[in-house]
Structure 1
Amino acid sequence: MNNSMDCAPEATLCNGTSCVVPESNFNAILSVVLSTVLTILLAMVMFSMGCNVDINRFLWHMKRPWGICVGFLCQFGIMPLTGFILSVAFDVLPLQAVVILIMGCCPGGTSSNILAYWVDGDMDLSVSMTTCSTLLAMGMMPLCLFIYTKMWTDAGTIVIPYDSIGTSLVALVIPVSIGMYVNHKWPEKAKIILKVGSIAGAILIVLIAVVGGVLYQSAWIIAPKLWIIGTIFPMAGYSLGFFLARIAGQPWHRCRTVALETGMQNTQLCSTIVQLSFTPEELNVVFTFPLIYSIFQLAFAGIFLGIYVAYKKCYQKNRGELPEIEGTETVPDSPHCQVNEGFQADTSGH
């Protein structure tokens, strides 16, 4: 029997009963253009987020990194372990289990910094956690993947794109550093930049989700188990990160920050690793999982944001600062206190 008869009409590459539709040149070019544009926009948004980071408080977190250590434990302890448990519990295919674990081992994404601002999180902690997790991912990702995936795949099969991690680190550190300097020298201008950047950041998050859905719309047919895991995984990350931070004695605003940093993974990095590590036939089975995770991590973050905004309106009508975020630690003074003031009335007189 002619193997070509087993193929869909639009397929041109056949091997037995397996047919792969070649990638569209339009999609490839569009992907490169949009990646470049989104990277530039993301750098601009991170610059505005840096305008809410106080240099003294940022250095304080580095010198007394208890919050960062809690976040590290969540990022490279809870998330890979949760991915492993979900893979075993749902008895997924080895290839699918590896992709789930790759997602769990990725560092925090920069979207968490934007969401941390909107939920009045500790921006200094958020930026320091994202920076540290991206830097430590150089060593922690290969280690975690070696530990958790060896029952499903051979060592060295998964390709870690160190250049992509380095690019993410540069795109984070440089704009944030410039924003911190602007905040230090011109705090009033920094507040204006922050207001614009926070709105642009929210639009950018939605834009990234839409672009991902459009570019990879042909890959949405995927095993139902992965849809379920993609729903549970980010929710588990948010919840476990929040409770672990609270158990560690962190104040509420830092618990919210750690929760976002834990559940909100760098899905773009995960997609890159998957593309570098698997064949086109294998990608048809698993490539959509990072997109599913991205959708649900944003959806749950939006729900949390809505709940928090409703809480503020109910219990914080005309007050400038929530009583629950008043920590007991002595930290350097910041023009933004312990939460962002981007949308609060300036009653300080300066």
Structure 2
Amino acid sequence: MNETKGAFDSPELWSPGCIQSSTSLTSLAPPFAFGQQAMDTALNVILIVVLLVIMVSLGCTMEIAKITAHLRRPKGVAIAILAQYSIMPLTAFILGKLFQLGTPESLAILICGCCPGGNLSNIFSLALRGDMNLSVVMTACSMVLAIGLMPLLLYLYSGGLSEGDLEGKVPYKGIITSLVLMLIPCATGIILNEKKPQYTGIITKAGMVMLLLSSAAIIALSVANMGSCIMVVLSPPLLGTSALMPLTGFLLGYAVSAAFKLDDRCRRTVCMETGCQNVQLGLAILKVAFAPEIIGPLYFFPLLYLLFQLGEGFLLILAFRIHDRIKQANDAAKIICAGVDTLRAQEMKSVLRHCRNSGKPGKQYMDSAAVALTTLQAPPSAASS
């Protein structure tokens, strides 16, 4: 029996409540309730191993002096935190209203929007050639502030929505674990950069290769983990929300940092920090705060959101890499032209200096100066012909 037939014809059929009334919860409930722990464990192990290696390679690009400078003058950190905790929760709330989502869907989206920055932003900042020192400082500050800001934002935006008890459900243990998984490997990388700088290039490249290779495995396991629930999570409203949330964060994060006149590397870093949320914390809140019969297959929404963060992040990396390649080519051409102009000007000065030092320059020196002047004023192609 095809239980999803006709779903596109009637948007109401995408509602978890409708599906739960016509099918058994056993086929749609989240894995923590019905025995897919093996898949969850495999995904978590891969994520932790990849994260540890990549964060060590990220730490190899950092310098203690620059980290200290960002802490002493926290302009970039303040802008990133302001952008993240104002733009993303508001975006989640507006998209929930715009797509006319039900209460469970709106809560799932809002919880993701209120999460702090995650390690994915550090990885993307590394690939974008952003300011890695600023990136790690921002992520750490974002996670520390999440201890107070997440309950406050969820309380402010979820008024009148909650069908579960959100009070006291912020996963403080998960926040601390994320901090540890970020700071310890980064500190290891910083020490390697200070003590063994000859190996940092190899470690950084290895981290980027592991990121590319593991991304496909993570995406495949995430999709497999959704199982029969995937059609509910892939409803048009949730797809639209998942696509627009990170994109809005990326674009507005870059725009806000540009408005405050941060340099290009810092703009890229703030862009990534704003658009990337720690979806693991969102999963933890949905798991702890709501019963399976309330949240149903929407437990998987953070995974869908993660997939769009990955996809849009890779597209941004590609766009910035193409931009950098074109800019480098143009800069090289300008340097060559400037060098040619400088050389020609030096030749002209040499001829005139020779004429001047001769006392009473004869006709041959005057002719040489005139020829040199004519040659220097002509285009390079004409001069060479």
Q: State whether TM-score is above 0.5.
A: yes
Helix, strand or coil at the partner of 2:24: strand
Q: Whose helix proportion is higher, 1 or 2?
A: 2
Separation in 2, partners of 1:274, 1:313: 43
Separation in 1, partners of 2:36, 2:297: 19
Paired position in structure 2 for 1:46: 55
The TM-score, its normalising length taken from structure 1, stands at: 0.82
Separation in 1, partners of 2:286, 2:49: 24
Separation in 2, partners of 1:291, 1:37: 15
Q: 1:203 aligns with which of 213, 216, 227?
A: 213
Helix, strand or coil at the partner of 2:36: helix
Paired position in structure 1 for 2:136: 127
Q: 1:189 aligns with which of 199, 206, 219?
A: 199
Partner AA of 2:231 in structure 1: I
Partner AA of 1:121 in structure 2: G
8 Å CA contact retained: 1:49, 1:198 = no
Separation in 1, partners of 2:39, 2:98: 38
Separation in 2, partners of 1:269, 1:288: 13
Paired position in structure 2 for 1:216: 226
Shift of the alpha carbon at 1:293? 1.3
Q: 1:232 aligns with which of 240, 244, 247?
A: 244
Paired position in structure 2 for 1:21: 26
Separation in 2, partners of 1:138, 1:123: 24
Paired position in structure 2 for 1:58: 67
Helix, strand or coil at the partner of 1:221: helix
Superposition map of 1:112-151 within 5 A: 112-151=121-160
Helix, strand or coil at the partner of 1:152: coil
Shift of the alpha carbon at 1:188? 1.8
Superposition map of 1:63-82 within 5 A: 63-82=72-91
Report which stretch shifted further, 235-244 or 217-226: 217-226
Paired position in structure 2 for 1:3: none
Shift of the alpha carbon at 1:287? 2.0
Shift of the alpha carbon at 1:17? 5.5
Superposition map of 1:160-179 within 5 A: 160-179=170-189
Separation in 2, partners of 1:269, 1:31: 15
Partner AA of 2:67 in structure 1: F
**Structure 2 residue runs without a partner (length 5+):** 1-19, 336-385
Coordinate RMSD, CA, aligned: 2.2
Shift of the alpha carbon at 1:67? 0.3
Pair 17,216 (structure 1): closer, same or farther in 2 beyond 3 Å: closer
Separation in 2, partners of 1:114, 1:203: 14
Poorly superposed stretches of 4+, deviation over 4 Å: 15-18, 22-26
Q: 1:307 aligns with which of 316, 319, 322?
A: 319
Superposition map of 1:102-121 within 5 A: 102-121=111-130
**1:181-215 deviation per Cα after TM superposition (whole angstroms, max 9, x unaligned):** 11112222122211111221233334322221111
8 Å CA contact retained: 2:88, 2:114 = yes
Paired position in structure 2 for 1:92: 101
Shift of the alpha carbon at 1:264? 1.1
Pair 34,87 (structure 1): closer, same or farther in 2 beyond 3 Å: closer
**1:198-249 deviation per Cα after TM superposition (whole angstroms, max 9, x unaligned):** 2212333343222211111322122321111111111101011010011111
8 Å CA contact retained: 2:254, 2:271 = yes
**Structure 1 residue runs without a partner (length 5+):** 1-14, 324-350
Separation in 1, partners of 2:36, 2:142: 31
Separation in 1, partners of 2:262, 2:212: 27
Paired position in structure 2 for 1:273: 285
Separation in 2, partners of 1:16, 1:199: 46
Paired position in structure 1 for 2:45: 36
Shift of the alpha carbon at 1:25? 6.8
Considering only CA atoms, is the larger Rg found in Structure 1 or Structure 2? 2
Shift of the alpha carbon at 1:314? 1.7
Separation in 2, partners of 1:81, 1:209: 28
**1:53-94 deviation per Cα after TM superposition (whole angstroms, max 9, x unaligned):** 111101111111110000101111111111111112222111
Report which stretch shifted further, 278-287 or 258-267: 278-287
Helix, strand or coil at the partner of 1:225: helix
Separation in 2, partners of 1:169, 1:185: 24
Separation in 2, partners of 1:317, 1:188: 29
8 Å CA contact retained: 2:164, 2:289 = no
